[in-house]
Amino acid sequence: MGCGGTETHSPAGAGEEVSEVQARALYIRKCSLCHGDDGKLMASKSPDLSLSTLALDKRIALITYGKGTMPGQKGLLNSAEIRAVARYIERFRE
């Protein structure tokens, strides 16, 4: 059960806008265990998100389908939530 578990509760519907507050809550619940609140924790061999140069579409794909030990979030988060988390991660870049 990696990356925040497998619960499927979503605060926004597939067509709804996801606020930054909701995106932060999703990130904290699903990502911070390995990436930390600031994207720098790097537990379980996870990358430092503050150093990431991935474009938004690549981050969306990575969150959706996963990679390595990171499980994909497709089916756990809807597309609007995945996009919101991918955008939220931009705040960690130095």
Residue 84 lies in a domain: yes
Helix (H) or strand (E) holding 71: strand 70-71
How many domains is the chain partitioned into structurally? 1
Q: What is the pLDDT of residue 10?
A: 47
Tell me, what CATH number does 53's domain have?
Answer: 1.10.760.10
Give domain status of residue 9, yes or no.
Answer: no
Q: Does the residue 8 lie in any domain?
A: no
Q: What is the pTM of this model?
A: 0.82
State pLDDT tens for residues 48-91: 999 999 999 999 999 999 999 999 999 999 999 999 999 999 99
> Looking at beta carbons, which pairs linking 54-60 to residues 24 or more positions away fall under 8 Å?
56/83, 56/86, 56/87, 56/90, 59/86, 59/89, 60/86
Looking at residue 41, its pLDDT comes to 92
> Angle at CA 90, nearest 5°, toward 63 and 84?
50
According to DSSP, the residues that pair with 67 across neighbouring strands are: 70
Q: What's the angle, vertex CA 8, arms to CA 21 and CA 83, rounded to 5?
A: 45
How confident is the model over 11-46, as pLDDT tens digits? 455 557 999 999 999 999 999 999 999 999 988 889
Q: Which domain holds residue 41?
A: 20-92
pLDDT attached to residue 45: 87
Q: Is residue 69 part of a domain?
A: yes
Answer whether residue 4 is part of any domain: no
Residue 4, by phi and psi: left (phi above 0), alpha (psi -120 to 50) or beta?
left
Largest CA distance in the chain: 33
